[in-house]
Amino acid sequence: MISAITSSSASATSFYIRPFSEFIQSTENIVRGKLNGIHVENGVTADGGKTIYTFATLIIGEVLKGSITGTQIIVRKVGGSKDGVTLEIPSSVVFSENEEGVFFLTSEQEDHSFEVTGMELGKFGIEQNNGEEILTGGIFAYSRIPDGVPHDPNEPDRLAENKKPWSITQLRKVIQEQNQAPAAVPNNQKNTEVSNTSVIKTNTPAPITKTSESTSTLSQGNENSSIYSASKLWYILATIALSALGVLFYLRRG
**Digit-coded pLDDT (tens) for 85-106:** 999 998 899 999 999 999 999 9
Domain containing 165 equals: 2-181
Q: Do residues 94 and 168 both lie within one domain?
A: yes
Q: Do residues 156 and 60 both lie within one domain?
A: yes
Q: Which of 5-14, 42-51, 76-85, 192-201 has the largest mean confidence?
A: 76-85
Provide φ and ψ at 250, rounded to 5°: -70, -40
Q: Do residues 175 and 215 both lie within one domain?
A: no
What does each C-alpha distance from 168 to 110, 125, 173, 232 come to in angstroms? 30, 11, 9, 94
Q: Do residues 157 and 249 both lie within one domain?
A: no
Q: Do residues 128 and 12 both lie within one domain?
A: yes
Summary mean pLDDT of the chain: 77
Contact 107, 113 (CB under 8 A): no
pLDDT band at 196 (very low <50, low <70, confident <90, very high): very low
Question: Is 186 a domain residue?
Answer: no
Per the structure, the count of domains in the chain is 2
Residue of higher predicted confidence among 1 and 236: 236
The per-residue pLDDT for 143 is 85
* Residue that terminates a domain, selected from 181, 199, 222: 181
Residue 39, pLDDT above cutoff 90: yes
pLDDT band at 171 (very low <50, low <70, confident <90, very high): very high
Q: Do residues 220 and 155 both lie within one domain?
A: no
Q: Do residues 110 and 67 both lie within one domain?
A: yes
Q: Do residues 164 and 231 both lie within one domain?
A: no
Q: Do residues 130 and 34 both lie within one domain?
A: yes
CA angle 44, 47, 52 (to 5 degrees): 25
In this prediction, residues 128-141 reach a mean pLDDT of: 94
Beta-strand relationship, 123-129 and 29-44: unpaired
- Count the helix, strand and coil residues of the chain and give each as a percent rounded to the nearest 5: 40, 30, 35
Question: Is 195 a domain residue?
Answer: no
CA distance 203 to 196: 11
The per-residue pLDDT for 108 is 94
With a pLDDT cut of 70, the percent of the chain lying above it is: 61
Question: Is 244 a domain residue?
Answer: yes
Question: Is 72 a domain residue?
Answer: yes
Question: Is 110 a domain residue?
Answer: yes
pLDDT tens for each residue of 218-240 = 344 444 445 445 555 655 666 66
Is the pTM for the entire model greater than 0.85?
Answer: no
Residue 243, pLDDT above cutoff 60: yes
